[in-house]
Amino acid sequence: MAEAPESAVAPPRPRPFKQVDVFTDRPFFGNPVAVVLDAEGLDTDAMQRIARWTNLSETTFVLPADASEADYRVRIFTPAAELPFAGHPSLGTAHALLEAGRLPPGAAVVRQQCGIGIVKLRVDRAARTIALALPAPRSRALDAAAGARIAEALGAAALAGTVRRIDVGPIWLVAPLADADTVLGLRPDMQAIARLSEAHQATGVTVYGPAAGGEQARYELRSFAPLHAVPEDPVCGSGNGTVAAWLREEGRQGDYLARQGRAIGRDGYVSVAFDGDDILVGGACVTCVDGSLRA
C-alpha cells in the first residue's frame, strides 16, 4: 500500500483566543470580535479560513510589530476579505491584549500597526473605556442621482441631506435620515446595497438620524456591508467615525454619544469626541469567551 504524502502544513497548536464584545459593558449586547492573540506562523489563507469559520463581522490576528513605534501588529479579516483598518476590532484587540497582560501595565496610549499604518488608542482605566484616533478621513459628496439610488436601496422615502463617500480605511457611503425612528424602520435591499457598494468601491452604507430629545444618545446608526458578507454590522466603529466626519464637515462638532444595534437585537453605545484634528471613537469592552483556538 502506498504511503500517504507528508503534509507540508504544520500541525495545529493551541493559540490564546478571546471573543470580546465591543461598545458595551454588558456581555452579548455589543459587537463581538474574535481575537487570536498569537498568530505567528499563520498565513493569509489560514487567517481567512478562520475568519470564515468564526463568522463574525471581523476576526483579528495579533503579530509582532515590524514598525519600531508600534506595540503590536494586527491583521483584520471579515468572513470575505482582509481590511486595512476597522474600529471595533481595533478596540477589542487592544482590550484583549491589555487583559492578557501583553501590553505595558498602566499604558495610557497604545499604538497599533495595521494595514492603514499606525493607529493610536487611548486607554481610560478609570472609565474602563478605550478610544481610537480615527485615520484622517477622505470625503467627497455624491450627486443627487446616486443619493436617490441609495435611498431606494435602503427603503427610505427620502434622505435628510447629501450622501458622502468617506474613506477611513473602510469606505462608507454615509446617508443622513430624518430621525432615529426612520433609521430603525429601514428594510434595506441587501443585493441593491451590495451593487451600490461595488459601484462606488465602498465597504457599505452607514445611515444615521437624530434621536428624540431626552435620549442618552444623540444619534441612532445602522451600517450595512453585504458586499463583505456582513449584512448588518451590529455596532460599527469606522461607520461611527465616518458619521462624525460628516457632521464635522457640516460644522457640527460637539462631542456626543451614538447608539447602534437595536434593529438586530443588540444595544451598543459609541462615544465620539473631537480633539483638534482628531476624531476619537471609543467605548467599553467586555470579554465573553476566553480560551484557546487550535490552528
Report yes or no: 135 and 129 within 8 Å, Cβ to Cβ.
Answer: no
Residue 58 appears among annotated catalytic residues: yes
H/E segment holding residue 198: helix 190-199
Alpha carbon distance 256, 163 (integer Å): 21
126: left (phi over 0), alpha (psi -120 to 50) or beta: alpha
Please pick, among 3, 6, 58, 215, the residue that the annotation labels catalytic.
58
Burial class (CB in 10 A: 0-12, 13-18, 19+), 249: middle
Alpha carbon distance 125, 111 (integer Å): 16
Residues 138-168 as b/e (b if ≥16 CB within 10 A, e otherwise) read eeeebeeebbebbbebbebeebeebbbbbbb
How big, in percent rounded to 5, are the helix, strand and coil portions of the chain?
25, 35, 40
Report yes or no: 154 and 222 within 8 Å, Cβ to Cβ.
Answer: no
Active site residues: 58
